[in-house]
Amino acid sequence: MKSVDELIHDIIRREGGYNDIKQDKGGATNLGVSLRYAKGKPQMDLDGDGDIDKNDIRLVTPEIAAELYKEDFFYGPQIDRLPVGLHAQMFDISVNAGGKRAAILLQSTLADLGYEMRMIDGDIGPVTCATAERAIAERGLKAVNNALVQKRKGFYARIIAKDPSQKKFAKGWNNRAEEFLA
């Protein structure tokens, strides 16, 4: 299995460089760090001018992105507590859609596979971890991971159904999810 740093390298490759696409709800984005996210992080005033704007996003380096990813999208949502075989996809979902959303998608996937989830709350705690371990032991990592890919694609479809302007991103989102098919 890959280290956290190797997973970050993969995510940065998927995210790509700077873009500012009108339909992107996150606003200007560089290496996966969006303006919407950065506005909540005082240390993201990278140009030191007293505000966080597109100019700061342009200055995001792979090193800055890596630290933010580790803190807010891997360790923060406790993806590290999950079975290691789920780390890559869960980390990618967390960066792409948020840690809480990643956890909800996993919990929903486990419920769809027939495992009792008392709460689908977006928190990775002992019940979610134990249920994921059990599902992998009983069904195999491939089955759990592939079911999560399908759940993820359904999430993207719901985004587009609610806001057709997001259809522009469908191919990229689905291709990204399908990278995790086993």
Mean per-residue pLDDT for 11-39?
A: 94
Answer whether residue 82 shows pLDDT above 90: yes
Phi, psi (rounded to 5 degrees) for 17: -85, -155
Mean of pLDDT values over 17-25: 92
Instruction: Find, among 74, 38, 79, 76, the residue nearest to 59 by Cα.
Output: 38
Task: Report the 10 Å Cβ neighbour count for 130.
Answer: 11
The chain-wide mean pLDDT, for the chain, equals 96
pLDDT at residue 172 tops 90: yes
pTM assigned to the model:
0.95
pLDDT digits 0-9 by tens, 115-135: 999 899 999 999 999 999 999
Show the CA angle centred on residue 123, arms to residues 85 and 52, nearest 5°. 95
* 1 pLDDT tier (thresholds 50, 70, 90): confident
pLDDT of residue 174: 97
Q: Give, for 106, the enclosing helix (H) or strand (E).
A: helix 99-112
Q: What is the pLDDT of residue 40?
A: 87
pLDDT band at 151 (very low <50, low <70, confident <90, very high): very high
Instruction: Tell me 24's DSSP state.
Output: -
d(CA 53, CA 178): 32
Give percent of the chain above pLDDT 90.
95
Residues 180 and 148 sit within 8 Å (Cβ to Cβ): yes
Strand ranges, E, within 14-110: 29-30, 33-34
Q: Which two tokens stand for residue 36?
A: 């919407």
Q: How far is CA 10 from CA 59, 86, 134, in A?
A: 20, 15, 27
Instruction: Give pLDDT tens digits for 32-81.
Output: 999 999 998 999 999 999 999 999 999 999 999 999 999 999 999 999 99
